[in-house]
Structure 1
Amino acid sequence: MLHKTKNVLIAGLSALIIFSTQVQAVTPSPQMIEQFKQLPKSEQERIAKQYGIDPSMLSTSATATKIENPQVVESRSTENNVLDQSEDESLTQQTKTAATVDAIESQKEQQLKPFGYDLFAGSPTTFAPVSDVPVPAEYMVGPGDTINVQLYGKENNNYQLVVGRDGAVQFPDLGPISLVGLSFAEARNLLQDKIAQSMIGINANITMGELRSIRIFVAGDAYKPGSYTVSSLSTITQALFVSGGVNQIGSLRNIQLKRSGKTVGTLDLYDLLMRGDASGDKRLQSGDVVFIPSTGGTVSVMGEVRRPAIYELKSNETMADVIKMASGLNPGAYPKSSVVERYSDKSVKTVINVDLTANSGLSTLVKNGDVLNVKSASNRIDNAVTLAGAVIRPGKYQWKNALKVADLLPSIWGNLTITADLDYSLLVREINQRGDIEVHRVALGKAITDPFSLHNVVLQPRDTLLVFDYEDREKLLEPIITQLKNQSRFGDAAKLVSINGNVRFPGQYPLTVNADVKELIIAAGGLEEGAYTMAAELTRQEVSQTDGVTIQHQQLSLNDVMNNPSSIVELQSRDILTVRTLPDWQETRWVTVKGEVKFPGTYSIQRGETLKGVIARAGGYTDNAALKSAVFLRQSVKDKERLELAKLSDELRREIAAKALTKDTPTVGYADAQLMLKELENVEVVGRLVVDLNAIELGIDEANLDLEDADALYVPSKNQTVSVMGQVQHPSTHRFKAGLTFDQYLGLSGGPRKRADEDRAYIIKADGSVAMPNESSWFTSSTQMEPGDTIIVPLDTEYKDSLTLWQQVTTIIYNSAIAVAAVATL
């Protein structure tokens, strides 16, 4: 049997190939493919090669391919007109003038999109019918459908029966069987009965094969209206998908199905999109017309609704229906004061207030063009208290009756940070509907440790408790001070006081209820070390409409104020408390003495102490001390040198720029200019002050000097060398020999270079002073040198293109280098 079937198939294929002009143009039908699957694998591969088809289509062992719907629609390219959140927030933070409010509302209205159109938005890419969906039992069988019949039992056969134009199928051995007007379930039962009656011992499995295609029309306001070939199982919504959906003026709520010139169904897509009701999505028949009329009225819904959009209206719909379309209200909505913008009969826009919490408001009919704006509720929390500052868990907490400070902060260790100020906290309380505040001081430590004391204040709704630490005092006080200034509206003095002088945190503070001087000192963190407690000054302004402003100064004893309860001095607005410092009080000052002294180290000094006194405290000099070579450093001199160096650098840049712009002189080279500037930047400023220790040792008072904090004295050992630096052939250091002159030491270093400026050569003495040959008539080339002296031969400024500042640059560089070297040797 199999051999016979094989020969028949091969003969049929050969005839088909002979009579076909283009072999590759022949496409096997599904019936032929099913027959090919019964052939051996070698024959399947040969036939597949001849027909140019995938061999897996003919293989009986091939796995079932995954059924996927073809993509028949491409998405439309639409612009996103919705502002991002950051832009929307920036709009709401603008000054809310009338023009700004109108602009914001108008922009939000323009951002609204028509609801539901995005679901079907697209353009068709193919007209191929979708035929891979399950077939329901009520499907009406018609011409072109294929019924698959599998016989098993005494005989095994597969048949693919195509319904002819007369509505009948040709069943082998049974003849024609009419299926006109039968559903798939009825046709299946009929065929099974026929087989059971005529073919004893054979069972049948009947399924639907390839379905027929039908041609429908999509008309009206579709995105791509026209004629489409679709599956006979297609419905109205599938026709919408294939045609690309509805355009921007098409109706989603009145899609009509027309058959033979009559409307046989109407689909409201809102039922499907909002409630999942597909009862109106009827199945199409060949020749049906899906007609999309233009949209009716629309309403725009914005504000605090869950789905702001533009919705299509039907007749007699109310505000309640519109809220349902928008999927309800947000939790932050204030529906009681919603607003509807509506065009009147005179084509003028009017505004109507609608209470969406009342039946009258919900039953209000909606008109075409309405804009419903659901306002937002206030973001102010009514029944809460706020913790801020140096607490472990800041934020808002529920207020309840008789709530106290210790109820919110029961533990110092468990609720406060390690740096929290236990003596000074502020309770900010609203006193009226305008938001005006009054400030109370809370001794937080006492409130927590003794909850039954008066310090454990009872809280009220909307209270704010601020806990200070030692860093954020000013930051937390700033909004309170601003609020107190703003609420002073009728010429009244703002409830603010100030404290300055020797306290930990001087500045401006809120005037708390029943405040006194002691409380202000506590607010400022207490007194600093060295505060003068015998007398502080309280300055008070008395304002009179007749006499103007008078200033009063009152002297207070801080000892009495802080320790005597009967010495309470109440404060008024704009009071200023000045805490003085003890006479002759000073912070501990330190000076450093190093080198050739008997007890080098760091010594504390008082105001007026001199260098001679500190040297005596250090035990005096050793026998090896070189007093002339001593280096004395001072911070104030260092700061001055740094400032002068910055000025010199700026002047040098300007001179370089001026030389570069001058045409009649050579321009300075870029490398030379950068070299000078770089050397200036790398100069280490030391702050050396020339002192004469020999004169101090001899008792000459003019040579002595008062010490400052951070002064440093370096006494080196005796130095038996003379150094030669600068523009010489071989810069070096030579052993001091008595009797050798300036020129002789210069000769020991090879003499000046070609670029040297011999006329400006100078000597830096061991004590840091400078001597120049051209400053004294007796200072000649035969000048005797001393141990520790340094000869400097500078660069000729004319060689550097007349940069007159170059000599100053080199002088600073050499002088600083010598001082650093002297200190480094200790």
Structure 2
Amino acid sequence: MMGTTVRSAALLTGLRHLTASASIAALLSATPLAAQAIDPSAIPRGSPVDPYGTGQSTASDGQYGRTGQSSSATTQSTATTTSDAYQPVSVGGSSTSDTNGTNLTMPGYGQRVGQNGLLDVDNLQVKRPATPGEFETWVKDVTGRKLKRYGSDLLIASARDFAVPATATIPPDYALNVGDTVSIALTGSIEGSVDAEIDRDGRIFLPNVGSISLIGVRYRDLKDRLAVAIGRQYRGYDVSVSVKRLRGVRVYVTGFANNPGAYSINSLSTLVNAVLAAGGPSAGGSFRSVKLYRNGAEVADFDLYQLLRKGDRSLDPLLQNEDVLFIPPVGKQVAVIGSVNEEAIYETREGENLADVLALAGGPTNVADASRLILYRLDDQDSVGSRQIDRALANAEKAEGGDIVQILPQGTLARSLDKQQAIVRIEGEVNKPGNYYVPPNTPLSQVLEMAGGLTPRASVYGTRFFRESVRSQQRRSFLEAVEQMEVSLAAAPLTGTRLGGDSGDRQTQIASARTFLDRLRQKEPDGRLVLDLQPQSASLPGSLLVENNDRIVIPPLVKTVGVFGAVYRPASFLLDGGKPLRVKDYVEQAGGPIRGADKGNIFVVRANGSVLTRSRGGMNAQVLPGDTVFVPIKTQSSSAWAKVRDIAQIVAQFGLTAAAIAAIN
């Protein structure tokens, strides 16, 4: 009873003195509450983090922290710091500095444990990513495409740093454990700081306070736990806490891992960190199941596709000391090719269907055929069967190991004219030139009517009609012709055909010819369609059905004839209203062929795009408005180089399109 009265009196006395000067209040509040009720010789002296009143922490590195750290450096957190504030911590085997300039150090991440139980850092060897498995090789042989296993890009050697960053934040739910180092700083009536490591019993020891159990305490509750313990002896102080050093834990990655073994990681690491540090699953390991065993019992089964495809780590558990991770064998694998967002080899789980596989592939692209898919399924070890499946029924077809699913593109399918909406561009000598959107099966006559009809100056015979389908066909044919010319050029020295001159000159000619052939490959045909028109035609073929992206250019009537090439005076000549002349007459008006001209290969390009050669009576044909006469240069050899040089001169002088070159050749 007497002791209770004394303690109550002491408490009231302490409260009265809190209104006095700051120095007196600090002195009184620094005295333990029980000081007036016990022997004065038993009164704790100084701060629990500075028991000798020196203003410095004298704890050693072994149990309480570093020595010689002044109280002025303890500015990590004051009373304004909330209990769940995140604090930086160093992990991943590197060092950084906190706000006090103190190094925060962690055991290395992903370091293999040697036979002596210590980290074998010097001899650490990390395997390359898993080599392609048998199914990947088989898919390449069957489809001709090199498909990767989905998820393998995450495991490349250049991206092997899967450790928690060197400066990380401790989550409020983090549970303290043996080996963690807690930093405590006191200000106010008692000052000082100390770093205390949680011992094997899960406790830390503070002078004048005693042992404090911190095992299993959440980080958000750490400040309150320490404040309660210190508050039994002191008043008028502020406490700030942080986790200065995290413990290391040892885990085992087993099963079908690319680099199985024991790993020392930090206590903030998760299942995914450890698996990826071990190189991920091997060619025979599963991405869909990673099992976590703790104390002999399975506590988690994580699907790596949840992270890879959905970005979901909510079920990724934190690891504890002596956890065992087991990667089971790979499940059923299905290859997905064609118009999907990511072609790859995907692993399926039990019960998943073809629709689930397409979802793993990111779904079909915008140009994919929405009605069907092609399924290649193993009938036996020697054959591959295929069948077409309605896309709407894909969720009813279970996926089987070895399946190859192909989505066909729809955007590249050429539809019939009966289903083609068309945009037709018409310009030149019409009353209302422009772009016209017309329904399928629209004839040319209707488009001309929409354009207001032809003007009186229209040259119907010289109409240029450009069509995309014709351009594609011309491009293919032209490239084939260029390849044949290249083969002929390469075979000329083998067949003994003379290229003229010595070997050095011959090599120069071949090099020049190859350079020109390369330039020809870069030419693009214009897709001109030569219409079957007569020079006196007054209308276009109205029954011709237009196609999408058709372009029609109706030029004005011209009354000139051009003569170019190996003549003395290349020029354009005006047609008068007199007696019509022949082609050879205009060649003579141009001065006639020069000495090096090839008179036997003179040809005429008509206004409608057709070509008339001398062998077909071109020299004696009457000229038409818009005709262009070409007189080539005669070569000294009948080799392939001579043909190439002829075409080169034509292109250089007159800028003919690739389609015209193909027609000439």
TM norm structure 2? 0.52
- C-alpha distance 144-495 of structure 1, shift in aligned 2 (>3 A): closer
- Partner of 1:280, secondary structure, is coil
Q: Deviations over 1:286-331 (max 9, x none)?
A: 1111111221111111111112211111111112211211111111
Structure 1 residue 212, shift from structure 2 partner: 0.7
Alpha-carbon contact 1:256-1:292 (below 8 Å) kept: yes
The unaligned stretches of length 5 or more in structure 2 are 1-45, 74-94, 112-124, 133-137, 475-528, 545-552, 562-574, 599-665
Compared with structure 1, are the counterparts of its residues 584 and 8 closer, same or farther at alpha carbon in structure 2 (3 Å cutoff)?
A: closer
Distance 1:105 1:472, change over 3 A: farther
Cα drift, residue 74 of structure 1: 8.3
Asked whether 1:223 is paired with 2:258, we answer yes
Match among 285, 303, 322 for residue 287 of structure 1: 322
The SS at the match of 2:534 is strand
Structure-2 change in CA distance of 1:107 and 1:217 (3 Å): same
Q: CA deviation at 1:268?
A: 0.5
Kindly provide the amino acid, as one letter, of the partner of residue 314 in structure 2: S
1:377 pairs, out of 391, 398, 410, with 410
Q: How does 1:424-503 map to 2 (within 5 A)?
A: 440-441=444-445, 444=448, 447-448=450-451, 473=464, 479=470, 497=532, 499=534
Per-residue CA shift, 1:206-252, capped at 9, x if unaligned?
22120111111111222221111111121101102322222222111
Q: SS state of the match for residue 153, structure 2?
A: coil
Secondary structure of 1:271 counterpart = helix
Q: 1:581 to 1:524 in 2, by over 3 A?
A: farther
Question: Which of structures 1 and 2 has the larger relative contact order (alpha carbons within 8 angstroms, sep 6+)?
Answer: 2
Is it true that 1:363 corresponds to 2:396 in the alignment? yes
* Cα distance between partner residues in 1 of 2:139 and 2:297: 48
The CA distance in 2 between the partners of 1:243 and 1:316, in whole Å, is 29
Task: In structure 2, give the amino acid aligned to 1:31.
Answer: G
Matched, 1:139 2:174: yes
Q: Is the 8 A contact 2:57 2:194 kept in 1?
A: no
CA distance in 1 between partners of 2:560 and 2:166 (Å): 94
CA distance in 1, matches of 2:582, 2:340: 68
Amino acid at match of 2:69: Q
CA contact (8 A) 2:104 2:245 kept: no
CA contact (8 A) 2:463 2:554 kept: no
Matches of 1:265 and 1:347, distance apart in 2: 40
- SS of structure 2 residue aligned to 1:177: strand
**1:639 maps to which of 591, 594, 602:** 594
Residue 228 of structure 2 is matched in structure 1 by 193
2:57–2:68 Cα contact (<8 Å) kept? no
Any conservation in 1 of the 2:164–2:268 contact (CA below 8 Å)? no
- Give me the whole-angstrom Cα distance separating, in 2, the residues matched to 1:584 and 1:7: 118
User: Relative to 1, partners in 2 of residues 1:346 and 1:210: Cα closer, same or farther, differing over 3 Å?
Assistant: closer
Q: Which stretches in structure 1 are left out of the alignment for 5+ residues?
A: 14-26, 40-55, 81-102, 392-405, 417-425, 432-437, 457-466, 484-493, 515-521, 531-578, 591-606, 608-633, 645-826
Q: Which residue of 1 aligns with 2:145?
A: 110
Q: Distance in 1 between matches of 2:98 and 2:467?
A: 81
**1:153 counterpart = 2:188:** yes
- Are 1:120 and 2:111 counterparts? no
Residue 8 of structure 1: how far off its partner (Å): 11
Q: How many corresponding residue pairs?
A: 426
Residues 149 and 158 in structure 1, CA contact (< 8 A), matched pair in contact too: yes
- In the alignment, does 2:262 pair up with 1:249? no
Q: Is 1:349 the counterpart of 2:304 in the alignment?
A: no
Aligned to 1:296: 331
Q: Which amino acid aligns with 1:367?
A: E
1:166/1:349 Cα in 2 relative to 1: closer, same or farther (>3 Å)? Answer: same
For residues 139 and 463 of structure 2, what CA distance do their matches in structure 1 show? Answer: 37
Shift in Å at residue 178 of structure 1? 2.1
Q: Deviations over 1:480-530 (max 9, x none)?
A: 9x99xxxxxxxxxx9974536xx7x99xx985549xxxxxxx989658489
The corresponding residue for 1:35 is 69
Q: CA deviation at 1:338?
A: 0.9
Asked if 2 retains the 8 angstrom alpha-carbon contact of 1:296 and 1:312, the reply is yes
1:131–1:231 Cα contact (<8 Å) kept: no
| Partner of residue 212, structure 1 | 247
The alignment yields a C-alpha RMSD, in angstroms, of 5.7
Find the aligned partners of 1:336 and 1:373 in 2 and give their Cα distance: 12
- Rate the CA distance shift 1:5–1:328 in 2: closer, same or farther, 3 A: same
Structure 2 counterpart of 1:32, one-letter code: R
Tell me if structure 2 keeps the 8 A contact 1:341–1:370. yes
Matched, 1:238 2:273: yes
1:340 to 2:375 alignment: yes
Partner of 2:423: 386
8 A contact 2:369–2:409 mirrored in 1: yes
- Judged with a 3 Å threshold, the aligned counterparts in structure 2 of structure 1 residues 63 and 189 are, in CA distance, closer, same or farther, namely closer
TM superposition shift of 1:59? 12
Q: Distance in 2 between matches of 1:37 and 1:153?
A: 11
Q: Is the 8 A contact 2:249 2:264 kept in 1?
A: yes
How far does residue 343 in structure 1 lie from its aligned partner after superposition? Answer: 1.1
* CA distance in 2: counterparts of 1:57 and 1:478, whole angstroms: 66
SS for the counterpart of 2:371 is: helix
1:66–1:172: structure 2 CA closer, same or farther, 3 Å change rule?
A: closer
Deviation at 1:139, TM superposition (A): 2.1
TM-score by length of 1: 0.42
* AA in 2 matched with 1:364: E
**Aligned in 2, Cα 1:75/1:329: closer, same or farther, shift over 3 Å?**
farther
For the residues of structure 1 that align with 2:97 and 2:354, how far apart are their CA atoms?
63
Match of 1:326 in 2: 361
* TM-fit CA distance, 1:280: 2.6
Provide the C-alpha distance between the structure 1 equivalents of 2:468 and 2:177, rounded to a whole number of angstroms. 86
